[in-house]
Amino acid sequence: MMMDEKDLQKFWSKVDKSAGDEGCWNWTAAKSRGYGRFVNQRKPKLCHRITYSLMVGDPSGKFVCHKCDNPACVNPKHLFLGSQSDNMADMAKKGRRKGKLIGEKHPLALVSDEVALEIKKATLSGDAARKIANQFGVSINTVTNIRRGKSYPHLPDFGYKPRIKPVSRFSEADKLNMVRLRATGKAYTEIAKLYGCSGWYAGVLVSKYNQKSVNE
Ligand SMILES: [Zn+2]
């Protein structure tokens, strides 16, 4: 990790050490899912990983876990290095998994947590899901699910905000409006543009809606 004097000064100015050497050192600036986040060399980094590498050693390829169960804490005395399974066991112990199988432990998981994290980071570059999917050899669906936190929700999201409304969230009113637009002769591609989905999906929604009304 490359941090110059200025970066270091900026970094430490955002750490609250008022609890003392043995207490939690809370990150006071930007967070992702509770974990402190710091942009260094234009790349978002997790703050507890930064302090671990500055004061203990390079954690690359390993998870840095919290003994104190406070994700915003960056005190290296409260951190330990673990494998993915340690991290999962640790989370399970602390009840953070809520009985759900998440991440690579999920039977349908296609990628490791490490890769999912890389995919999450890649979304920050603004690259299209298709490009990232090609890069990692996964489907576009896998990329969008990871981006939106539908899968691998335990990994930090680095502040990603979806630009378009997820298609599953269309209300009945939206669907009805799509049906009406279609009835007035609007092309599916035009309707799709209004709703930020694909023309194909607009077509599916409209025909499903029509089918439902026929059956009722
Ligand atoms: Zn702590």
CATH number of the CATH domain containing 43: 3.90.75
What is the reported pTM?
A: 0.45
Number of domains in the chain: 3
The rounded Å distance from CA 85 to ligand 1 centre is 21
The rounded Å distance from CA 69 to ligand 1 centre is 7
Residue 73 and residue 52 share a domain: yes
The rounded Å distance from CA 77 to ligand 1 centre is 8
% of the chain residues with pLDDT over 90: 22
Residue 86 and residue 38 share a domain: yes
pLDDT string in tens for the chain (216-residue length): 678 899 999 999 999 999 999 999 999 999 887 889 998 887 888 899 999 999 998 887 778 888 888 999 999 999 988 766 666 566 555 555 444 555 665 545 567 777 888 888 887 777 788 888 887 777 788 888 888 877 777 887 776 766 554 556 678 888 888 999 998 898 998 888 888 788 888 888 888 887 776 555
* Residue 2: how many other CB atoms lie within 10 Å: 6
The rounded Å distance from CA 26 to ligand 1 centre is 7
| Structural domain boundaries, residue 105 | 100-164
Residue 35 and residue 87 share a domain: yes
Alpha-carbon span 30 to 68, nearest angstrom: 20
The rounded Å distance from CA 54 to ligand 1 centre is 16
The rounded Å distance from CA 21 to ligand 1 centre is 10
The rounded Å distance from CA 86 to ligand 1 centre is 18
Do the Cβ atoms of 197 and 167 come closer than 8 Å? yes
Sign of CA dihedral 173, 176, 181, 184: negative
The rounded Å distance from CA 80 to ligand 1 centre is 11
Residue 88 and residue 17 share a domain: yes
Residue 38 and residue 89 share a domain: yes
Residue 148 and residue 207 share a domain: no
Alpha-carbon span 11 to 4, nearest angstrom: 10
Using alpha carbons, list the distances in angstroms from residue 36 to 10, 27, 169: 14, 6, 30
% of the chain residues with pLDDT over 70: 80
